[in-house]
Amino acid sequence: MSNQSNTRIGKFPVLAGEDLTGKEGCLVELTHDTGVPEVKLPAADTAVTPYILDEGAADAALVQVIPLEQNRNVRIPLKGTCNPGDQLVLADTGTAADKGKVRVLPATAGTYRVIAIAEEKGVDGQLLLCRPCMVGNVTISGT
C-alpha cells in the first residue's frame, strides 16, 4: 500500500493571498492565512519562490500555480537584460511592479537567491525561457 496518497504532480489550485490579477508567469511563495495555504508575490529578495503563477485572480480567489522542476524549463518575466547561462535571482521586491520577476545576479553587495539559469538572450519585460536550478543564497561582498 502506497503512503503517497493525496500528493500532486503538475499545476494545482490554491488561494491568492493578495490580488494576483495579471501576474501570470511571476514567481510566488507559499504562505498561509490562519493555517489555510495561499500564495503571494515574494516579500524579500531571498524569498523561497518554488511556484509560477499560471492563472491569476483577485485576493482570496483560487489561482493556479505550477511547481518549479529542474527537468522542465519555464518562462518568467525578466527585469533588465540577460544572456544564456546567466544566473537569475528575484528582481528587487522593494519595487511593486517587479515582484515575482527575475534579473541577472547583480554585482552589488548583498544576499540573493539564485533560482534559475537563462536559456536564451533576454530583454526587459520578456517572458524569459529559463531552467530552475535552486542554487540557493549567494552573497556578493562589497569592495
pLDDT of residue 128: 98
Together in a domain, 52 and 94: no
Across all residues in the chain, what is the average pLDDT?
94
Cell of 118: 537563462
pLDDT of residue 23: 97
Is 51 a domain residue?
A: yes
Q: What percentage of the chain has pLDDT greater than the value 70? A: 99
| Residue 105 CB partners (closer than 8 Å, separation 6+) | 86, 87, 88, 89, 112, 114, 138, 140
Kindly give the residue spans of alpha helices, DSSP state H, lying in 8-138: none
| Residue 112 CB partners (closer than 8 Å, separation 6+) | 45, 46, 89, 90, 105, 106, 137, 138, 139, 140
Judged against a pLDDT cut of 80, whether residue 142 lies above it is answered with no
| Distance of alpha carbon 51 from alpha carbon 140, whole angstroms | 25
Together in a domain, 22 and 62: yes
Kindly report whether the global pTM for this prediction surpasses the value 0.75: yes
pLDDT of residue 1: 63
Together in a domain, 61 and 111: no
Structural domain for 37, as ranges: 12-67
Together in a domain, 86 and 136: yes
| Residue 6 CB partners (closer than 8 Å, separation 6+) | none
Q: Of 78, 69, 81, give the one whose Cα is nearest residue 128.
A: 78
Total domains in the fold of the chain: 2
Judged against a pLDDT cut of 80, whether residue 87 lies above it is answered with yes
Instruction: Give me the phi and psi of 35, to 5 degrees please.
Output: 90, -5
Is 43 a domain residue?
A: yes
Cell of 134: 535552486
Together in a domain, 109 and 129: yes
Together in a domain, 86 and 123: yes
Together in a domain, 20 and 48: yes
CA 117 vs CA 22, 73, 83: distances in Å: 24, 10, 10
Mean pLDDT of 122-134: 96
Together in a domain, 127 and 95: yes
